Amino acid sequence: MRTNKRVLVTGGAGFIGSHTVDALIERGYRVRVYDNLNPQVHGENAQKPEHLHPGAEFIKGDVRDRESLKKAVQGTDIVIHDAAEVGVGQSMYSIEQYVSSNVYGTAVLWDILVSEKHGVEKVLVASSMSLYGEGKYRCSRHGDFSPRPRPDAQLKEGRWEMLCPVCHASADPVPTDEEKPLECTSVYAQSKKDQEVYSLMIGKAYKIPTVACRYFNCYGPRQSLNNPYTGAAAIFCSAIKNGKPPLIYEDGLQKRDFIHVRDLVRGKLLLLETPSADYGVFNIGTGKPSSILELADTLISLNGKEFRPNVIRKFRSGDIRDCYADIAKIEKLGFVPQMSLRDGLRDLMEWGEKQQSVSKVEIAHQELVSKGLVV
């Protein structure tokens, strides 16, 4: 699809946002980026990053700044709202920061869209797999179920697997579809749920087609190697690059759905350009589960290291056991993930070799310990 429509990408200088900008410009969109260049992601006194496409207009601003954001919205046809604070662990003690940026920032955007003159005809909002809480599971005797979080008593005993609520036998994870009840287990997850709910509610009320994109665990080039609250792949990559074994909570066998950023962006643009997706909620993942230990071992192998991950067998508040995507809904629109985990991690590693990074995971871990958030 070739177009000259004008797109505003909030958070467009960041990891997923900047890849989205590249893909939009490649397809002929005219792109405006609005980003506050968060120091935790971009470094202190950051300027427009070198990786941002030179064909994109850049405005430095915060989504909570109404007047600045209003000017950025003017003259655009589409808004892709990627701006957000990310990270489960940090959200559990930086509560005001996460709620303010993610929820209030989204409220400001929508207040502009319903109160001011504009030409916006579609909105994509970045949602998250985290709002599911635990994924779906299957007991061999009692079938599928959507569990509540594991009890503290179970976790303190180091029994990590999800148990059937009827027979208490270990259950196996199955793909999590968009209809699963939402059970947020962190401030971050709740803030993303609020973003999604407000966006779809207001979009429907004002007849502005809106789509919620539930990102699964995205990784790839440009993911900050200096932010200890970013995704596991980048955190592990930074640790390995600095000669340190990756730190892993629980036993490392918890499963996630890791999707390369270019695959995720292809899914986003498919939803943008498919009218039948309007007002819908869509998982964007690979549909394939991988353990955290597999992720770490693959990165260690690709880096030619011989150490083993540091599996500490402790639980971080807000974490879940297993969740991977059922992608049948977006597959019906034509989405097919292309990048294997190993090839995708090689891409991340090769990019990371050229980047400066400081592994801060121990600092982040001690912060969680000091707040009583590690069991």
User: Residue 119: CB partners within 8 Å, gap ≥ 6?
Assistant: 75, 76, 77
Name the residue with tokens 């109404």.
66
**CA nearest neighbour of 18 among 44, 63, 51, 55:** 51
Rg over alpha carbons for the chain, rounded to the nearest Å, is 20
Q: What is the bridge-based pairing of β-strands 210-215 and 122-128? A: parallel
**CA nearest neighbour of 222 among 11, 5, 14, 3:** 14
Report, as residue numbers or ranges, the catalytic residues. 188
Residues facing residue 172 across a β-bridge: 138
Q: What is the bridge-based pairing of β-strands 172-174 and 143-145? A: unpaired
Q: How far apart are the first and last CA of the chain?
A: 50
Residue type, 362: E
> Which backbone phi and psi does 359 adopt, to 5 degrees?
-75, 115
Number of alpha carbons in the 13 Å side-chain half-sphere of residue 230: 26
Q: How far apart are CA 34 and CA 59, in angstroms?
A: 5
Chain center to CA of 32: 22
| Measured CA angle at 274 (ends 325, 112), to 5 deg | 95
60 three-class SS: strand
> Helices marked H in the chain — which ranges?
15-26, 39-42, 66-73, 88-91, 95-98, 105-115, 152-156, 187-205, 232-241, 261-272, 292-302, 328-331, 341-352, 361-370
Q: How far apart are CA 322 and CA 331, in angstroms?
A: 22
